[in-house]
Amino acid sequence: MSESGTLTNKESDTKILSVLVSDPQKQKTHSQTYITYQVSTKIDGKDEPNCVVRRYNDFVLLHQILINDHPALLVPPLPDKKVLNYLSGDRFSHSFTQKRCRSLQTFMRRLLSHSELSKSRILETFLTSTDWDVYRRSLTGQISTSEVSDVLINAFKHVNRQRDEFVEIKEKSEKLDHNLSHLDKLFHKSVKRVDLIGQNLKKLQSSLSGLQELCCDEKELSNSIKAFNDGTMQLIDSLNDLNKYVDYEYNVDIKDMINYIEALKQLIRLKDQKQIDYEELSEYLTRSINEKNNLLSGYGSGNYFKSKLEELAGINQEMARRDKIAKLETRVQSLTDEVEKSKQVADEFEKEVLKEVEQFEQIKTLELKDSLAALAQKHIDFYDDMVEKWSKIEERLESA
């Protein structure tokens, strides 16, 4: 685990070393069927890992609470709900639960890698508490599920003054998102391809069996066929295993990384929102000050007809003017406060986000490296095995 995973828990001084999400199990109650995952936490000073059983909805709740509690932090995303899988009933399939398990593991790992989030109390409760269910029920209804609604309101407004850093960050995450999506597609394609290769090899292998049967009288040939056939069968099995790994783990990692970038982009949009709030307020303030200044300086060119009309209506112009100036003055006063506040918020947020981006970069690098290493290791195992097996087959063919 990374160094951030060993951070001391602020609340209870519990040192969480690592978390393992594993063993997806199908649970059936009288009313519903769902999958549970075993979450085992290694805590410093304890030999035995602390094990709890959680279901996907528990993770969702944890995620929600974290977002509510830490709006300025990059809370790692959860795997998609995959509504389609729910509809088609595939959500209990082996591949689906395996992939989700992998994603949940990544989620936990990211939380632990995060300097702030790993210290959160709710995480500890989630990981260790046997009363989680009680806690969950007490919270029901309090947590809003609209994660993004406030950000979406102003989705079409853009920040006027953008710091160069953020321009770069945005550009970079866009590119990364784009490239990883491509990579994801390609790896999926290759998985399907290898699957087809496996299928064809299987058919080839059954033809070989047929041929072997047919040529059973010719000892030499049938021995050769048998040797080759054995090799093909082993190849099919190992290839299948390797392909499953790529599909269930490596591809899921890429997908999770794409989701993580999405979360980062979301956070930046939230930051932009704060900035937009501030910018709008300052603009309003400027306008109010201008108006007040115009009134103070006597008349504005645009106000000529208006004042004439008011004069005709018998309104005391001077009185109204003074009244207006007074109103504007209070507005400017309060707006100045607001602008000050929102500027603070925006600046604060920006600082936080910059820190988050930095953390994201670290986690990203680590993850990409780790999953590549694992991918390489799997391939090494596969080809090591293949070299050995085919060498044996070759020997058998030579001696046949």
Partner 1 sequence: MQINFEPMPNSVTHLENNSPSRLKNNKTVEEHKEHEPDLQTQSEMRRESNGSPKDTAVTNQNGDQPHENVIHTQIIKKDNPFFNYMQDNVDGSDENGKNDDDDENAKNAGSDDNEDQLLQPNRRKNSKERRRSSVATSKDSSPDVPYNTLNHNASGMTKEGKKRAQILEASKVSEGQGRTYIAYAIKYGDSIVKRRYSDFESLRKVLVKLFPISLIPPIPEKQSLKSYGKAMTYSKSSYLLPTESGDSVDLSLSVINGPVTTNDEKLIRHRIRMLTSFLNRLLKNQEITKTSIVYDFLDPNNKNWNDLITSSLTISSLPKSVLQCNPIDPTNTTKAHSYLPVPSSSTQLLASKDNHSASDADEFTKIEAEFKNYEQLIHSGLYKYSRATTKEVNYLREDLKGISSEFAQLSTDETKNESGLAELLSHSSDAYGTLQEILETLVGNLHYNINEPLSECAHMATAVRDLIHYRRLKLIQKDILERTILYKRGQLIKFQQQENDHKQIDNMVKEELGTNGAVNLENPAGPQSYSGKFINKFTQLAIIIKDSVSYQEQDPAAAARSLEKELIQLDETLKVATSDLVVISETLKNTELPNFIKERDEELTQIFKNYAKYMKENATRNLEIWKELHNRIQEA
Nearer to partner 1, 143 or 380 (CB): 380
Nearer to partner 1, 227 or 353 (CB): 227
- Nearest distance in Å: CB 170, partner 1: 13
> Within 13 Å of residue 95, how many CA atoms lie on the same side as its CB?
12
- Nearest distance in Å: CB 397, partner 1: 5
The DSSP bridge partners found for residue 15 are 8
- Nearest distance in Å: CB 192, partner 1: 9
- Nearest distance in Å: CB 31, partner 1: 45
- Nearest distance in Å: CB 339, partner 1: 35
Place of tokens 């680590």: 366
Distance from C-alpha of 327 to C-alpha of 321, rounded to nearest angstrom? 10
Distance from C-alpha of 377 to C-alpha of 381, rounded to nearest angstrom? 6
- Nearest distance in Å: CB 175, partner 1: 5
Three-state DSSP state, 118: helix
Q: 2, 18 in Cβ contact below 8 A?
A: no
Distance from C-alpha of 179 to C-alpha of 186, rounded to nearest angstrom? 11
Distance from C-alpha of 80 to C-alpha of 342, rounded to nearest angstrom? 34
Nearer to partner 1, 347 or 358 (CB): 358
Nearer to partner 1, 35 or 386 (CB): 386
Distance from C-alpha of 39 to C-alpha of 50, rounded to nearest angstrom? 8
Query: Known binding site: residues?
Result: 55, 81, 100
Nearer to partner 1, 309 or 387 (CB): 387
Q: Which of 342, 323, 177, 334 is nearest to 256 (CA)?
A: 177
User: Which H helix or E strand runs over 117?
Assistant: none
DSSP H helix total and E strand total for the chain:
11, 3
Nearer to partner 1, 34 or 390 (CB): 390
Q: 204, 344 in Cβ contact below 8 A?
A: no
Nearer to partner 1, 46 or 192 (CB): 192
Compute the residue count for the chain.
400
- Nearest distance in Å: CB 367, partner 1: 10
- Sign of the dihedral through C-alpha 368, 93, 203, 238: positive
**Interaction site with partner 1 (CB under 8 A):** 172, 175-176, 179-180, 182-183, 186-187, 189-190, 193-194, 196-197, 200-201, 203-204, 206-208, 210-211, 214-215, 218, 220-221, 224-225, 227-228, 231, 235, 361-362, 364-365, 368-369, 372-373, 376-377, 379-380, 383-384, 386-387, 390-391, 393-394, 397-398, 400
Would you report the helix, strand and coil content of the chain in percent, each value rounded to 5?
75, 10, 20
Distance from C-alpha of 95 to C-alpha of 191, rounded to nearest angstrom? 13
The DSSP bridge partners found for residue 155 are none
User: Which H helix or E strand runs over 392?
Assistant: helix 317-399
Nearer to partner 1, 51 or 201 (CB): 201
Nearer to partner 1, 41 or 173 (CB): 173
Q: 260, 360 in Cβ contact below 8 A?
A: yes
Q: Name every residue whose Cβ is closer than 8 Å to that of residue 2 and which is 6 or more positions away in sequence.
A: 112, 113, 362, 363, 366
- Nearest distance in Å: CB 185, partner 1: 9
- Nearest distance in Å: CB 253, partner 1: 14
Q: 335, 285 in Cβ contact below 8 A?
A: yes
